[in-house]
Structure 1
Amino acid sequence: MNTDAKTMLEIKDLHVYYDNIHALKGVSLKVKEGEIVSLIGANGAGKTTTLQTISGLIQSRQGKIVFQGKDITKEKPHLICQAGIAQVPEGRRIFARLAVKDNLKLGAFTVKDTPENLEKDRAKFYKDFPRMSERKNQMAGTLSGGEQQMLAMGRAIMSRPKLLILDEPSMGLSPLFVKEIFSVIKKLKEDGVTILLVEQNAKMALSIADYAYVIETGKITLEGPAQELLNNPDIKKAYLGA
C-alpha cells in the first residue's frame, strides 16, 4: 500500500446481520487512491456482503463507511453510485434483452455531460474492447459469458467511477477469458481507476493487487502488501493450492 496516497475508501468496524446471523464481525479496511485492493476468502466468508454494504444494498447495524472523506454509511444506493462508486456484481446482471450499446447507455445514466462527450466515452470503450464494438448491436443475452463480463465492466466504466468494485469477475469463465479480464483490470488501474477486487482466483487477484485482505467467517484475519500474502505459506496452503 502506498503510504503517500490518499485514502479513498475506509471501512471501520463494520457489523452486518442477516436476521440473527452475524455476517460481518467488525470488518475494517482501506482502499488508497490509484491502487488495486483485493479481498480474498472462502465461499461464505463475507466478501460479497462487504461489497454490497459499501454499495448501500445492505445496511450495517454498526460501523462506518467513509468515501473521499464523506460518511456514506446510511446513504441510498443511487446516491452512492452518483458519488463515484460503481459495482460490477457477481453474475454480471447485464440487461439481457437490450443491445450492447443500450447497456452502455444505461451505465452512463447518472453522468451529467453532453451527448458528444458520452459518445467519446463509448468510443474509448469500443477501442479498449474491440470485441464489444463488433457486437454493439447484438442482444446482450446472446453474448458468451466472457463477453457479458466485459459488458458488465464497460457498463460500470461508463458511469466514470472513482472507485470500481468487482465481485468475482472471473467466475465461470474459460482460462483464456480470465486472462483477458485481468488484463483489462490492470489497464483500468493504468487509466487511474481505483479498484476493490473480490476474486475466487486468489493467485490472480494477489498477482495484480497492491494490497490485500483475507476475510474468514466475517472477520479480517490477515492483511498486507499483496506480494507478501502471495508468498505467505499459510495463504498458499489455504487459497493457492500449494
Structure 2
Amino acid sequence: MSFLKVEDLNVYYGNIHAIKGVSLEVNKGEVVSLIGANGAGKTTTLQAISGLLPIKAGEITFNNNSILKQKAFKRTRLGIAQVPEGRRVFKGISVEDNLTLGGVSVNSTKEEDKIEMDKIYQLFPVLKERRKQEAGTLSGGEQQMLAMGRALMTRPQVLLLDEPSMGLSPLFVDKIFDTIALLKKDKTTILLVEQNANLALEVADRGYVLETGRIVKEGSAESLKSDPDVKAAYLGI
C-alpha cells in the first residue's frame, strides 16, 4: 500500500500547464528519486504535495487519506516536511533558533525538541559547534545541513528533499548524500528531487523521470541507471 500517492496531478502557472497528469507513489521506508532537466516540473511537483501550490486537478493521498483540502502547515503536522530548493534558512537568527522553529511548526514540547535536536547534532556535528552562530554566516553546505535539520525537527513521516546538492562544493555534496544514505538506513521515507541523476539513483530504491511536466519513465533505480535513454540524457554516458 502506498504511503504517499499522487494521482493525475495537474498544476498551472496562469495559463501555463506546468504539471500534466503526474502520478507517482512512495512506499513507507523507501527513497524515491524524481529526476529531470531544469524546468521539467520537479520542484512544482514537490510544492504541490506540500501544499505550497494549488492544483487544478488530481489527488494526493497520505496514509490513505486525501490531503487536498489541508493547508501547507497542516500537511507538516500530518508528517510531510519539505527541505526547499535554495535552503531558505532564517539567516538573521542562530542555528539553534532555526532548529527550534522546526519544532514550533508541529507544536512539540521543549523536552521533545531537545531529544530531536540532540539527534540532529549527532547527524550534523558542525551544527552543534555553530549552534549560537547566525545562520547567515554558515557556508552553503552548512546551511543545507541546517535546512535538513529544521525539517527533521518536525518528526516527518515523509521528507521531501528539493535539489539538496545545488550550489554545493563536491565535498559538501558527498556529505549531504552520505546523510541521505544514513536516513535511508534508518528507514526514513524520502521523495528526492535532484538534478544530479547519478547521485539520485545511487541512493534511491526507485525513480521517476519527469520531462516537461509528464512522467516518461519509472522503475527501480537499477533499471533506470541501465536504461539507454536515461544514460544518454541524464547520466552523461
TM-score (norm 1): 0.96
Q: Which residue of 2 aligns with 1:171?
A: 166
2:110 match: 115
**Superposition pairs of residues 117-132 of structure 1, within 5 angstroms:** 117-132=112-127
Tell me how many residue pairs correspond in the alignment.
237
Is the 8 Å Cα contact of residues 40 and 212 (structure 1) preserved in structure 2? yes
1:9 and 2:7 matched: no
Contact 1:36 / 1:210 at 8 angstroms: preserved in 2?
yes
Residue 218 of structure 1 aligns with which residue? 213
Q: Could you say what secondary structure the match of 2:104 adopts?
A: coil
CA displacement at 1:235 relative to structure 2:
0.5
User: Residue 135 of structure 2 is aligned with which of 127, 135, 140?
Assistant: 140
**Residue type matched to 1:142 in 2?**
T
- For the Cα contact (< 8 Å) 2:76–2:106, is it kept in 1? no
**Cα pair 1:56 1:74 within 8 Å, conserved:** no
Partner of 1:106: 101
Per the alignment, residue 234 of structure 2 pairs with 239
Q: Distance in 2 between matches of 1:23 and 1:14?
A: 10
Q: Which residue of 2 aligns with 1:92?
A: 87
Alpha-carbon distance in 2 for matches of 1:110, 1:60:
24
Residue 112 of structure 1 and its aligned partner are, at CA, apart by 4.1
Pair 1:27-2:22 in alignment = yes
Q: Which blocks of at least 5 consecutive residues in structure 2 are unaligned?
A: none
Displacement after TM superposition at 1:231 (Å)? 1.3
Q: Out of 89-98 and 111-120, give the one that drifted further.
A: 111-120
Do structure 1's residue 74 and structure 2's residue 69 form an aligned pair?
A: yes
Deviations 1:102-135 (A, max 9, x none): 0000011133443223211111111121111100
CA–CA distance in 2 between the matches of 1:151 and 1:113? 19
**Corresponding residue SS for 2:145:** helix
Structure 2 Cα separation of the partners of residues 150 and 117 of structure 1: 20
- CA RMSD in angstroms comes to 0.9
1:189 aligned to 2:184? Answer: yes
Indicate yes or no: 2:47 matched with 1:52: yes
Pairwise CA distance, 1:43: 0.6
Supply the distance in 1 between the matched residues of 2:119 and 2:44 (Cα, whole angstroms).
32
User: Identity over the aligned pairs, expressed in percent?
Assistant: 59
1:156 correspondence with 2:151:
yes
How far has the Cα of 1:147 moved from its partner? 0.1
CA contact (8 A) 2:205 2:221 kept: yes
Residue among 33, 39, 44 paired with 2:34 = 39
Q: What SS class does the counterpart of residue 7 from structure 1 fall into?
A: coil
Gaps of 5+ in 1: 1-5
After TM superposition, the score normalised by the length of structure 2 is: 0.98
Mean alpha-carbon deviation: is it higher for 116-125 or for 25-34?
116-125
Task: Return the alpha-carbon distance in structure 1 between the equivalents of residues 99 and 212 of structure 2.
Answer: 36
* Post-superposition CA distance 1:169-225 (Å, at most 9, x none): 000001111010001011112222100000011000001100000010110000000
Structure 1 residues 43-73: Cα deviation after superposition (integer angstroms, max 9, x where no partner): 1111011000001111111100001111012
Contact 1:59 1:74 in 2 (8 A): no
Looking at structure 2, the residues matched to 27 and 78 of structure 1 have their Cα atoms a distance apart, in angstroms, of: 23
